[in-house]
Structure 1
Amino acid sequence: MISRRTLLAAAGAAAAAGLARPHLARAAAPFQQPPLPYGEDALAPTISARTVGLHYGKHHKAYFDKLNTLVTGKPYADMELEEVIRRAKADKAAPVFNNAGQAWNHNFYWQQFKEGPAAPPAAFVEAATRDFGGIDPLKAKIVETADGVFGTGWAWLVADNGKLEVLGLQDAGNPIAEGKTPLLGIDVWEHAYYLDWENRRTAHVKALLDERVNWGFVGERLAG
C-alpha cells in the first residue's frame, strides 16, 4: 500500500516537473476532511442547513483536527484511515481510535444521503426479506436499535459473511473494527438531530430512513 508520505513525495516531484497535483502538494496534515458532497441545505427539512453546517463544519472537522494532532510523528500518520481504526483498537489507543472512528463514520454518513432518497435494488430487497422479513421490518429494527443506544453512538446496518445485521455501537463504534462491512450508519449523537428534532431521536431516525437515505448506495455496498 502506498503511504501518504510517498504520495506527498511524489507530488513534490511532480511539481518540479510542472505536473503538480495541488491538493496533495499543499497537504498540511496526513488526514483531510472530504468536501461535503452537496450543499448544506440539501437535506432539509429532515436535517436543516444549520445542523449540517454545525455537524459537518464543527463536529466532523474537529475529529480530523484532533486526529492529526494525535498522530503527528507516529506510525498512524502513514496509514489509511481504516487501517488506523483497526490498529488503534488493537493498540488500545482510545483517543486515536475515537477520533479516527468518528472521522470515518462521518465521511460515510454524508455519502449515504447523496442523491437520495432512492429505492433499494432488487438484490438488497431480497437480502432484507431473507434476514428481516422485508424493507419495512429492517427499518423498524434499525429504529429500535438506534433507540436502544444509550447516550451517544451509532446504529449500523452491516453485512457479515453475506448476512445483514443491525448493530448498536457506543460513541465512535465502527463496524470496520468489528470485522464487518458497513452498509448504513445512523448517527444518534445529539449534535446530529437536536436542533431540528429536540429530544425526538426516534422520529429523526425514522425520517432519515424514509426521506433521506439513498438505498441504492446501501445496496451497492452490499453488492460490492
Structure 2
Amino acid sequence: MRESTLLFFMAFGLTSTLFAQFTLPQLPYAYNALEQAIDAQTMEIHHSKHHAAYINNLNNAVKGTPTAEMTIEDIVKNISKHSMAIRNNGGGHFNHSLFWSILTSEKNTMPNAGLQKAIEKQFTSVDSLKKLMNVAAATRFGSGWAWLIVTPDNKLAVCSTPNQDNPLMDIAEVKGTPILGIDVWEHAYYLKYQNKRPDYLAAIWSVINWTEVSKRYDAAMPPKKSIWEQWPTLNTFHGVMASTFHPSEEGNLKPIKARSAEMVTKAEALNAQAYPDDYATPAIKDAVARLISGSKELDALVKKKSKDAVLTQKLTALHDVFHEIVGLCKDSH
C-alpha cells in the first residue's frame, strides 16, 4: 500500500475498517419498520452501536491471527479454542446477524410445509412452540438468548444460552443449529418495554420472519432421501409393475401372466414391515390395502386364464393405484 493512502486512512480513523474481516450487515428493512414490536430508536442503537461494537472488538481480537481468515460459523463452532474476547464478540456478531435476518415488516409470514410439520410433530402447534420459546426467554436470568434449534439428530428443540453464547458453540449445554433466536439482553427492548420482558416477548412474534426461519430449517436438515430410498419395498414392487404393465400397453400379457403371483408377494411385503415415518398416513395405508387386494384379484384372474382384455383392464387399474400411492408419498415428502 502506498504511504499516502495509509496516512489518509489513519487520518480519518479508518484503519480498523480497512483491515476488517467482519462487517456490519445491512438491514433489509428500515429502523422504524418493526414499530409494532420494536421501536426505531432501539433498532438503530442495537444495530449501529451494539452490533457494530461486537464486530469492531472481534476484528481487533482476530487481527493478525489465523482466526481472521475463518468464517464466523467456523469460529463459533470451535469457540473452546478461542479467547473470551472472541467468544463474547464472535457470539455477539453471529447472534445478531441471525436475529436481524429472522425479523420482518412483512405481515403474516408462515412456516413452510416442512417446518410446520416438524413443529407440529415436536410441539403440537406453532402456538405451543411460541409459549415454550417465551418461557425459555423469560426465565433466562440476566442477559442471553432463547433459541429454536435443529438438534444433531434432526429434531427441533427449544433452549436458551447466557450472554452471547449460542447452541452452535462446542461449549453449549444444548447443541444444535440455531434457526430462530430471540435476544433478551435489556438493550433489545428496554426503551420500549423497560423491565417488562414478557411484553416484549409477546410482541416480537408479530415481526418474526417465518419465511427466513423456514429457509434456515431446510438448510439445517440433511437432504431428503427419495421415495425409493425411504421405502425400498415400494421400489421393488415398482420393478414388477413396470416390467409387466408397460409390455401390456403393447398387447404383451406374457410378463404379467408369468409374474402375477410375484406381484402379490411384493404387494404384501409393503404391509409386512413398518411404514417409513413420512408415509405412515391413513390415505397411503388405504391405497396399499387396495393394491394388495387388487394384486390378489389379478392373480386369481390369471390363474383362471381370463381374457387378455380383462387382465389388461385389471392391471391398468392396479397401475393407477400404484401411482396414487406414489403421488401421496410425494405430497407427504
The question of a shared fold, defined as TM-score above 0.5 by the shorter chain, is answered with yes
> Is 1:109 equivalent to 2:106 in the alignment?
no
Q: Does 1:162 align with 2:157?
A: no
Asked whether the equivalents of residues 158 and 181 of structure 1 are also in contact (C-alpha less than 8 Å), the reply is yes
- Flag the structure with larger Rg: 2
- Which residue in 2 is equivalent to 1:131? 122
Q: Report the alpha carbon displacement of residue 27 of structure 1 after superposing the two structures with TM.
A: 4.4
Structure-2 residue corresponding to 1:213: 208
User: What CA RMSD, in Å, does the superposition of the two structures yield over aligned residues?
Assistant: 1.4
* Equivalent residue number for residue 148 of structure 1: 139
CA distance in 2, matches of 1:54, 1:103: 15
Which structure 2 residues correspond to residues 23-62 of structure 1 after superposition, within 5 A?
27-62=18-53
2:200 is the counterpart of 1:200: no
The residue type paired with residue 130 of structure 1 is: K
Local SS of the residue matching 1:34: coil
- The aligned residue for residue 191 of structure 1 is 187
* Structure of greater relative contact order (alpha carbons < 8 Å, 6+ residues apart): 1
Answer yes or no: is the 8 Å Cα contact 1:41–1:48 preserved in 2.
yes
Identify unmatched segments of 5+ residues in structure 1: 1-25
**Structure 2 unmatched runs, 5+:** 1-16, 220-333
Per-residue CA distance 1:38-63 (angstroms, 9 max, x = gap): 11111113111100010001100000
Say whether the 8 Å CA contact 2:147–2:158 is kept in structure 1: yes
Per the alignment, residue 70 of structure 2 pairs with 79
Q: TM-score, normalised by structure 1?
A: 0.84
Decide whether the 8 Å contact of 2:147 with 2:160 is kept in 1.
yes
Quick check: 1:69 aligned with 2:60?
yes
Which of 169, 177, 180 in structure 2 is aligned with 1:181? 177
- Report if aligned partners of 1:116, 1:215 keep a CA contact under 8 Å in 2: no
Aligned residue type for 1:219: S
Letter in 1 for 2:165: G
The runs of 4+ residues in structure 1 deviating greater than 3 Å are 114-117
How many pairs does the alignment contain? 197
Report deviation, 1:115: 5.2
Residue of structure 2 in register with 1:4 after alignment:
none
